[in-house]
Amino acid sequence: MRYSSMLIPTVKEIPADAETASHKLMIRAGLIRKVAGGTYTYLPLGWRSLLKVIAIVREEMNKAGAQEILVPSMQPHELWQRTGRSIDYGPTIFRIEDRHGKVNVLGPTAEEVVTFHAAAEIKSYKQLPFNLYQISPKFRDELRPRFGVIRSREFLMKDAYSFHADAGSLDETYWVMYEAYERIFTRCGLKFVAVEAEVGEMGGSGSHQFTVPCESGEDTIVYTEDGSYAANLERADVDPLSKEDTDAEIPPTEQVHTPNIGSIETVCAFLKTQPKDMIKTLVYATGDDVITAIVRGDHDVNSEKLSQAIGGKHIELADEVTIEKVTGAKVGFAGPTGLAQEVSKMLIDHVVAAMAVGVAGANKTDYHIKNVVPGRDFPLEGDNVIVTDIRYAQQGDTRDGKELLFKKGIEVGQVFKLGTKYSTKLGAKFLDENGEEKPCLMGCYGIGINRIVASAIELGNDENGIIWPITIAPFEVLVTSVNQDDEEVAQVAEGIYHRLTDKGVEALLDDRILRGGVKFKDADLIGIPIRVTVGRKSVAGGNVEIKLRCESQSRTVSIEQAAEEVAELVNSLKEQLKP
């Protein structure tokens, strides 16, 4: 392709709303343009890169035995009601009403539709297992679309769904997918880690998340130095603490007047205590039930863990009216004492159970209680009391006695063992060898195509622009004709460009009549991995220059040798990214 005839609108200005390197550079290098909040158009360079990612994903999925299909983005809402995910996803789902008043969903993913088909087509165990995938747009009305294409409202996902007769078969496919993911991300030039993940709204029994560690990531991975444990923050378990020593006799509870002082910080300042000596009580709603979560004042409730502790049910923080009804006090004064009988379940973090004594809300507006002893002043056992791990890991926590470390990252993919959640609800059943009817076991496997491109840029950039991995770069080689107005230079550049193209190398010829400096700036910004510089001086000496985008030094090669050498360089760069 010729630069002069392509739309590559590079810009100097950093877009005002761009916070991350990839967002800034994708706009500046003319890869994408914003249409509206969280929706982007891919311009020619951006789309070329995306297509390369798609090709890699498709190749590896096919190799792993998955079959490509395409399901509609617009799906009947009714299917989403049947699985309960209309509620679970809540406002994240785009809903549209058609002219007949029927509600449709713009699919945020496709378990429902694919399982609907499986239900209709599967009769016997003989048809199992199989794995279907698609690469298609997904829609999510994200609370905070941001970081350009990393969290957008419309994005491309590769989503796969496998169906099995037994757990062994699901396990096998799960690991085949896991390994396919490792190959995909390696081939795309990403440095990534696979960590244990929470199953979340998907439901199911096991999951791994593939994350690209980088500062701008919204995910946190939690790991031990020796690598024996790695999980995402939603999932990360922490060691329980042993019961604090209490030689001293703790006096009975004492109510203290804390007028208008509801937050942990203000209570601490007022009572001259510390968050770690406080007991925090949060009220959640799940369907018509109310549950409470009790954690230490310096800890945060992990709603994923909370939800898992009550059998994976969807939970939400209760509204003010509910809180006041249950606690008998304004928001800010909830406490565990006397609350167990008011709620359907009381979940107590095991760190709280290990506390000797603490300060808690009094369930009375403007009052707190001192000298609250877990087990004495509120129950640690009982029909509706569960003591377990319900909080986020934080600095200082350990797992199996080893210190937990934290790192930011971008989630690029996730694999799940779904079990029978969807097949049961949507009737995807089969007859086994004994003629017994059973629901299929399922797995699902997602990859964010756009996030791969953005993550590659997060990892590969400098102050001048993008540094692409060759496998997903929009072009492999940029031939820059520095003096396009000089006929000889233009001809040499043209000749090398043609020879490269003939060899199957993807080359872009910068044939614009512009100053060399401008061309070099653009070259650095769009970040094509190999640049061949054809200038008047070197051509006069029978040479051109070859430079890697990731290195500062260039080297000289003869005009005759140039295409051959560049083609070899392309191959060796590709070789480095082979799994």
Residues at the site binding ligand ATP, with contacts judged by CB under 6 A: 109, 140, 142, 151-152, 155, 157, 411-414, 446, 448, 450-451
Residue 92 or 388 with smaller CB distance to Mg ion: 92
Q: DSSP H helical segments within 343-420, as ranges?
A: 350-353
| Of residues 374 and 446, the one with the C-beta less far from ligand ATP | 446
**Cα(57)–Cα(66) distance, integer angstroms:** 11
Q: Running DSSP on this structure, what letter comes out for residue 2?
A: B
Outline where 368-480 has alpha helix (H).
421-426, 449-459
Query: Quick one: which segment of 84-92, 188-196, 218-226, 413-421 binds Mg ion (CB under 5 A)?
Result: 413-421
Shortest reach from residue 219's CB to Mg ion, in Å: 9
CA dihedral 147, 149, 155, 160 (to 10 degrees): -90
The item of Mg ion, ligand ATP, none sharing an interface with residue 22, based on CB under 5 to 8 Å by kind, is none
As beta bridge partners, residue 358 has 372
232 forms part of the interface with Mg ion (CB under 5 A) = no
Q: 372 or 454, CB closer to ligand ATP?
A: 454
Nearer to Mg ion, 200 or 529 (CB): 200
Residue 295 interaction partner, one of Mg ion, ligand ATP, none, beta carbon < 5-8 Å per kind: none
Judging by DSSP bridges, how do beta strands 32-36 and 39-42 pair with one another? antiparallel
Among 374, 388, 420, CA closest to 304: 388
Minimum separation from the CB atom of position 399 to ligand ATP (A): 22
* Closer CB to ligand ATP, 142 or 494, in the complex: 142
Phi first, then psi: what are they for 377, rounded to 5°?
-100, -10
Instruction: Specify the residue, 68 or 289, whose C-beta has the smaller distance to ligand ATP.
Output: 68
d(CA 467, CA 573): 13
Bridge partners (DSSP) listed for residue 293:
282, 347
Structural contact between residues 543 and 559, judged by C-beta atoms closer than 8 angstroms: yes
CB of 206 to ligand ATP, least distance (A): 14
Q: Nearest approach, Cβ of 200 to ligand ATP (angstroms)?
A: 7
Supply the minimum distance, in Å, between the C-beta of residue 426 and Mg ion. Answer: 21
Binding piece for Mg ion, criterion CB under 5 A, among 88-96, 348-356, 408-416, 531-539: 408-416
Could you tell me which residues come within 8 angstroms of residue 468 by beta carbon, excluding any fewer than 6 positions away?
49, 189, 456, 457, 460, 474, 527, 528, 529, 549
- Structure-token pair, residue 153: 């409202």
Matching residue, tokens 């942990």: 264
Q: Are strands 477-481 and 507-510 parallel, antiparallel or unpaired?
A: parallel
Closer residue to Mg ion (CB): 230 or 359: 230
Q: Among all residues, whose Cβ is closest to ligand ATP?
A: 448
Q: What residue 155 binds from Mg ion, ligand ATP, none (CB within 5 to 8 A, per partner kind)?
A: ligand ATP
User: Strand 554-558 relative to strand 543-548: parallel, antiparallel, unpaired?
Assistant: antiparallel
Residue type, 542: G
Smallest separation, CB 209 to ligand ATP (Å): 7
Nearest distance in Å: CB 257, ligand ATP: 43
Minimum CB–partner distance for residue 198 and ligand ATP (Å): 9
Please, what is the minimum distance in Å from the beta carbon of residue 136 to ligand ATP?
12
Could you tell me which stretch among 36-44, 222-230, 380-388, 406-414 binds Mg ion (CB under 5 A)?
406-414
Q: Answer for the pair 386, 309: CB distance below 8 angstroms, yes or no.
A: yes
When CB distances are held under 5 to 8 angstroms depending on the partner's kind, the choice from Mg ion, ligand ATP, none that residue 448 binds is ligand ATP
Of the candidates 550, 490, 498, the residue with the CA atom closest to the CA atom of residue 514: 490
Q: Which residue is nearest to Mg ion (CB)?
A: 414
Of 63-71, 414-422, 433-441, 464-472, the segment contacting Mg ion by CB under 5 A is 414-422
Minimum distance of Mg ion from residue 413's CB (angstroms): 8
How many DSSP H helices and E strands does the chain contain? 16, 32
Query: Which option in ligand ATP, Mg ion, none does residue 450 bind, with CB closer than 5 to 8 A by kind?
Result: ligand ATP
Q: First vs last Cα of the chain: how many Å apart?
A: 30
Taking the least distance from each CB to ligand ATP, the nearer of 157 and 369 is 157
265: left (phi over 0), alpha (psi -120 to 50) or beta: alpha
| Chain center to CA of 509 | 36
Please say which residue, 49 or 258, places its beta carbon nearer to ligand ATP: 49
Identified binder of Mg ion from the candidate list 20, 104, 152, 414, rule CB under 5 A: 414
**Binding partner of residue 451 among Mg ion, ligand ATP, none, CB cut-off 5 to 8 Å per kind:** ligand ATP
Partner interacting with residue 142 (select from Mg ion, ligand ATP, none; CB below 5-8 Å by kind):
ligand ATP
**Where do we find the tokens 């406490």?**
335
Q: CA geometry: angle at 333 spanning 332 and 336, to 5°?
A: 120
Q: Which is nearer to Mg ion, 115 or 414 (CB)?
A: 414
* Minimum gap (Å) between residue 73 Cβ and ligand ATP: 14
Q: Which amino acid is at 472?
A: I
Residue type, 104: N
Closer CB to ligand ATP, 142 or 172, in the complex: 142
178 or 520: CB nearest ligand ATP: 178
Please, are residues 480 and 507 in contact by the beta-carbon 8 Å criterion?
Answer: no
Tell me the CA distances in angstroms from 564 to 470, 473, 480, 541, 555, one per residue in order. 17, 20, 17, 19, 14
305 binds, among ligand ATP, Mg ion, none (CB under 5 to 8 A by kind): none
- Chain residues binding Mg ion by CB under 5 A are 414
